[in-house]
Amino acid sequence: MKGIKLLAISVFSAAFLSFTPENKKIIIIDAGHGGNDMGANRDGIYEKDVVLNIAKEIREFNNVQDKYEVILTRDNDTYFQLADRSALINKLNPEIVVSLHMNSSPHQESVRFGKEVYTQSTEASKKLAQQISQKLNPCEIAGEKNLHILRESKAPTVLVELGFMNNTEDREYLTSKKGQKEIAQKFIEVFNEY
């Protein structure tokens, strides 16, 4: 099964790269979780769906420019092993990688809210986190964290917690079409300025 997944990733990346102009930079958006891995959830709303919708909005907004190409690690409700995601990332050698997630706390209703960015130990990752923090204000740069996607990706990578699933205000904003479009537009602004 793992061989089939790796073959699919190889075929996908080879096919994609054959249509990408050489001067176009690649930006990878990793919509966290997927499939049976639902991530944080509340009242029938799942992290995997929210971050995938935002990732798709980012890709849609990107269609109006030709400086870079946005590639999603998943564009449907499928789960890929973390090792498969990092293998795809390293094969495509992107300019930057943004992994999208939603936070949660052990409380029924979290008093904590807002966005957090985790980084690699590299200056490029920290620079990207700073730019994201300025656009997604308020957004805390939570610093380095030993997470697979950050540890194994060779490209400058950040993991962004877009808000708390169990904070009503965050959840309502991130599940609204308006909120998802606004967040996506902010990421496009970051990419254009990077």
* 51-60 confidence digits (pLDDT tens): 999 999 999 9
Task: Please give the structure tokens belonging to residue 108.
Answer: 């029924």
Q: Tell me the average pLDDT across 141-152.
A: 97
Residue 129 scores a pLDDT above 60: yes
Res 6: pLDDT: 45
Question: Do the beta carbons of residue 130 and residue 122 sit within 8 Å?
Answer: no
Mean pLDDT value of segment 48-76:
96
How many CB atoms neighbour CB 186 within 10 A?
18
Rg (CA), the chain: 16
Cβ neighbours of residue 95 closer than 8 Å, sequence gap 6 or more: 25, 26, 27, 68, 155, 156, 194
| The pLDDT of residue 22 | 61
Q: Please confirm whether the linkage preceding 21 is cis (ω < 30° from 0).
A: no
The pLDDT value recorded for residue 7 is 40
* Structure confidence by residue, pLDDT tens digits, 73-121: 999 999 999 999 999 999 999 999 999 999 999 999 999 999 999 999 9
Q: Are strands 157-164 and 115-119 parallel, antiparallel or unpaired?
A: antiparallel
> For 24-37, what is the mean pLDDT?
97
Structure tokens that stand for 59 in this block: 């890709």
Q: Of the candidates 53, 47, 157, which has an alpha carbon nearest to the alpha carbon of residue 102?
A: 47
Q: Residue 40 has what pLDDT?
A: 97
Answering whether pTM is above 0.95, one says no
Q: What does the pLDDT average to over 127-140?
A: 95
